[in-house]
Structure 1
Amino acid sequence: MSKQQPHILFVSAIAEDRRSVSSYLSIQQFRTTAVGCSRTARHEFEANTIDAVVLDVANDDGTGAQTCRRLRECGVVVPIILFTSGGDPIDRIVGLELGADDCIDKPVNEKELVARIRARLRIIDRSDNRVIDCYSFAGLLLDVSERRVTRPNGSALPLTSGEFDLLVAFVKKAGRKLSRPQLLDLTERRVTDDSTRSIDVLVSRLRRKLFAVTNNEHISTIRNGGYQFTSEVNAVHRDQANSPASR
Structure 2
Amino acid sequence: MSEVRTKILVVDDDPALRQLLADYLNKHGFDTLLAPDARNLDTLIQRFTPALLVLDRMMPGGDGAEALRTLRAQGEDVPVILLTARDESVDRIIGLEAGADDYVGKPFDPRELLARIQAVLRRKVSSHAHKRNAPITFGDFTFDPVMRQLRKHGQTVKLTGGEINLLEALLQSAGKPLSRERLMTLARDDEAGERSDRAIDIAILRLRRVLEDDPKQPRWIQTVWGTGYRFSP
TM-score by length of 2: 0.54
Identity %: 34
Alignment match, 1:61? 61
1:120 aligns with 2:84: no
From the CA coordinates, give the structure whose radius of gyration is larger: 2
Give the Å deviation of 1:102: 0.5
Alignment match, 1:97? 97
Alignment match, 2:11? 11
Residues of 2 paired with 1:144 and 1:14: CA distance? Answer: 43
Amino acid at match of 2:21: V
Residues of 1 paired with 2:38 and 2:6: CA distance? Answer: 20
Secondary structure of 2:39 counterpart: helix
What is the total number of aligned residue pairs between the two structures? Answer: 149
The 5-angstrom pairing of residues 59-208 of structure 1 reads 59-61=59-61, 63-130=63-130, 132-133=133-134, 156=175
1:50 aligns with 2:50: yes
Residues 26, 135 of structure 1: CA spacing in aligned structure 2 closer, same or farther, 3 A cutoff? same
Alignment match, 1:39? 39
Amino acid at match of 2:72: R
Residues 20, 38 of structure 1: CA spacing in aligned structure 2 closer, same or farther, 3 A cutoff? same
Cα-Cα RMSD? 3.5
Asked whether the 8 Å contact 1:65–1:95 carries over to 2, the reply is yes
Residues of 2 paired with 1:71 and 1:156: CA distance? Answer: 12
Alignment match, 1:30? 30
Residues 15, 84 of structure 1: CA spacing in aligned structure 2 closer, same or farther, 3 A cutoff? same
Secondary structure of 1:83 counterpart: strand
Give the Å deviation of 1:21: 1.0
Asked whether the 8 Å contact 2:75–2:175 carries over to 1, the reply is no
Asked whether the 8 Å contact 2:85–2:106 carries over to 1, the reply is yes
Give deviations 1:112-139, integer Å, cap 9, x for gaps: 1111111111122234445823599xxx
Gaps of 5+ in 1: 158-243
Where relative contact order (Cα < 8 A, 6+ residues apart) is larger, the structure is: 1
Asked whether the 8 Å contact 1:11–1:59 carries over to 2, the reply is no
Residues 117, 61 of structure 1: CA spacing in aligned structure 2 closer, same or farther, 3 A cutoff? same
Residues of 1 paired with 2:145 and 2:37: CA distance? Answer: 33
Residues of 1 paired with 2:92 and 2:83: CA distance? Answer: 9
Residues of 2 paired with 1:5 and 1:21: CA distance? Answer: 16
